[in-house]
Amino acid sequence: MATARAKPKSIDQYIAACAPEARAILRKLRSTVKRAAPPETEELISYRMPAFALHGILVYFAAFKNHIGMFPPLRGDAKLKAELAKYAGPKGNLKFPLDEPIPYALVARIVKFRVRQNQAKARKN
Averaged pLDDT score across all residues of the chain: 93
Give the per-residue pLDDT at 3.
Answer: 44
Q: pLDDT band at residue 5, thresholds of 50, 70 and 90? A: low
What's the domain count of the chain? 1
Q: pLDDT band at residue 20, thresholds of 50, 70 and 90? A: very high
Give the per-residue pLDDT at 11.
Answer: 97
Domain residue limits at 107: 11-124
Q: pLDDT band at residue 37, thresholds of 50, 70 and 90? A: very high
Above pLDDT 70, what percent of the chain?
96
In a domain, 3, yes or no: no
In a domain, 47, yes or no: yes
In a domain, 18, yes or no: yes
In a domain, 2, yes or no: no
Per-residue DSSP letters for the chain?
---SSSPPSSHHHHHHHS-HHHHHHHHHHHHHHHHHS-TTPEEEEETTEEEEESSSEEEEEEE-SSEEEEES---S-HHHHHHTGGGB-GGG-EEEETTS---HHHHHHHHHHHHHHHHHHHHH-
In a domain, 112, yes or no: yes
Tell me the pTM: 0.91
In a domain, 36, yes or no: yes
In a domain, 100, yes or no: yes
Q: pLDDT band at residue 35, thresholds of 50, 70 and 90? A: very high
The CATH number given to whatever domain includes residue 117 is 3.90.1150.200
- Residue range 53-84, pLDDT digits in tens: 999 999 999 999 999 999 998 899 999 999 99
